[in-house]
Structure 1
Amino acid sequence: MNLACRKIVKDYYCPVCKIHKETVSHALWSCGGAMDVWAENASPVQKWVSNEREMQELWADWCEKLSINDLELMFKQVQQQSHKNQDAGIRRRRSCRWKAPAKDQVKVNWDATLNIKEGRMGIGVVIRDENGDVMVSLCSQKRNVQDPLVAELQALRQAMKLCANLNITEVIFEGDALKVVRAVNNPESSWEWYGQVVKDIKEVLRNRTSWKVIHAYRESNCVAHFLAKFSFTVNEDRIWMEEGPEGMQFYVLKDKNVVTEVE
């Protein structure tokens, strides 16, 4: 609810019940999902029927009974654990590298960049074989796009269109937009406003069972990211066969070195 008030997210409804606004009290207490947790056998308030206000009063009363030292200790422990998790996540991300596809497969990395002020987006697509060699690279622009998620969906659709035109059958599509990957792999229909694009992509995947869409961190999607940014420097769609624009080869060789080391 607070994020929606600050225009950070558009939807302020609870993602669990999808009925009520996701306030703090609703998420912790009155949502059906939260109530199921409080109703567990080990819960001290298992059969306590009360409203959100009573729950807030209970919380305030509990906090008053804790000493300041206890609260400070709890806060420090939470902070320390948070820093540990963050550091572990950073190390894990830094160790991520591009992985070559299996034999007789190709890997297609895609990415999108967005210039909200000008209302245009850039698309980068690179197709590589099991040795990490570039088969095709593409830069493209689209206008009247304001949403990052839609930009990523458009980039994935462009990558699929390219592979269809080249009649490539065994494909792994890899991008760093986790929400897009989850949306197109979700068997349920998407009722979001961008749902039609998701539906189109799902239909393509349904007809091409050897095409897969997977997620990768940005650190292993550098070539596509470079191409997406480079697309703002060209005025029309550009396609390169077995090469790409100046500067791309640096990232390609970096990925190939990792592939060689693994082998």
Structure 2
Amino acid sequence: MLTMLTGPSIPTAPVRWTRPSDGLYKVNFDAALFEVSGCAGIGVAIRDSSGAIIGALSQKIALPHSVELAEALAARRAVVFAQELSIANVLVEGDCLKVVSALRDPAGCHTLYGHIVEDTHCLASQFQSYGFSHVRRRGNLLAHALARRAVSSADFDVWVEELPVELESIFQTDLI
């Protein structure tokens, strides 16, 4: 049975990263643009209810025409990554209010990135339960660091149940 966990309204966004409920996995996403390099980075961090890392990725992509398109692509990649790890119950969380609002709106998205939002909805409908939530940048630091890492590393890096050593302090800060 498919359950969407959240509705179209956006409650006050938390300032810090918070643990998901038992049985739920939080999938944080972010994008970073590097105009000088002509690329963007996508970062995704998946954590369980204890806060443990289930998976993380850092991916370099071609520079999109807007921040919102980059964030929408990051949200879609977050959903796909959770599916690749066979996770069934997710809360997908990002810090771009426009994109999260579009993802939460059942009426559809009529923007230049609307097709990405619709594709993300279609992909998310394959989960047992899912939801989309907004968090302030301070609560999305790990995904942001993964997105920024993409410009200086390989085109695509994935970690399962671990993180790059240089991001360990950001991860630990979230858990305090």
TM-score over 0.5 (shorter chain)? yes
Q: Deviation at 1:166?
A: 1.3
Does 1:164 find its partner at 2:83?
yes
Which SS does the other structure have where 1:99 is aligned?
coil
Does 1:210 find its partner at 2:108?
no
Give, in whole Å, the separation in 2 of the partners of 1:220 and 1:238: 22
Q: Deviation at 1:165?
A: 1.2
What's 2:5 paired with?
A: none
Does 1:152 find its partner at 2:81?
no
RMSD: 1.8
Give, in whole Å, the separation in 2 of the partners of 1:119 and 1:215: 27
Give, in whole Å, the separation in 1 of the partners of 2:128 and 2:104: 12
Does 1:97 find its partner at 2:16?
yes
Give, in whole Å, the separation in 2 of the partners of 1:207 and 1:198: 15
What's 1:200 paired with?
A: 119
Give, in whole Å, the separation in 1 of the partners of 2:76 and 2:84: 12
Does 1:230 find its partner at 2:137?
no
- Higher RCO, Cα 8 Å, sep 6+: 2
Does 1:180 find its partner at 2:99?
yes
Q: Is the CA contact (8 Å cut-off) linking 1:122 and 1:142 kept in structure 2?
A: yes
Give, in whole Å, the separation in 1 of the partners of 2:101 and 2:15: 20
Identify unmatched segments of 5+ residues in structure 2. 1-11
Return the letter of the residue paired with 2:162: E
Q: 1:121 aligns with which of 40, 48, 67?
A: 40
Give, in whole Å, the separation in 2 of the partners of 1:223 and 1:230: 10
Give, in whole Å, the separation in 2 of the partners of 1:144 and 1:254: 30
Give, in whole Å, the separation in 2 of the partners of 1:223 and 1:173: 14
Return the letter of the residue paired with 1:186: D
Q: Is the CA contact (8 Å cut-off) linking 2:31 and 2:40 kept in structure 1?
A: yes
Question: When the two structures are superposed, what TM-score results if normalisation uses the length of structure 1?
Answer: 0.59
Question: When the two structures are superposed, what TM-score results if normalisation uses the length of structure 2?
Answer: 0.87
Give, in whole Å, the separation in 1 of the partners of 2:56 and 2:108: 32
Give, in whole Å, the separation in 1 of the partners of 2:63 and 2:110: 22
Q: Deviation at 1:209?
A: 5.2
Q: Is the CA contact (8 Å cut-off) linking 1:121 and 1:151 kept in structure 2?
A: yes
Deviations 1:81-132 (A, max 9, x none): xxxxxxxxxxx99x82211011111111111000123331101111111111
What's 2:7 paired with?
A: none
Q: Is the CA contact (8 Å cut-off) linking 2:41 and 2:59 kept in structure 1?
A: yes
Return the letter of the residue paired with 2:97: L
Q: Is the CA contact (8 Å cut-off) linking 1:132 and 1:252 kept in structure 2?
A: no
Q: Paired residues, what number? A: 165
Give, in whole Å, the separation in 2 of the partners of 1:209 and 1:215: 21
Q: 1:221 aligns with which of 135, 140, 145?
A: 140
Q: Which protein is bigger by CA-based radius of gyration? A: 1
Which SS does the other structure have where 1:145 is aligned?
coil
Q: Is the CA contact (8 Å cut-off) linking 2:80 and 2:123 kept in structure 1?
A: no
Give, in whole Å, the separation in 2 of the partners of 1:144 and 1:227: 16
**As a proportion of its length, which structure holds more helix?**
1
The percent identity for this pair of structures is 32
Deviations 1:25-71 (A, max 9, x none): xxxxxxxxxxxxxxxxxxxxxxxxxxxxxxxxxxxxxxxxxxxxxxx
Which SS does the other structure have where 1:140 is aligned?
strand
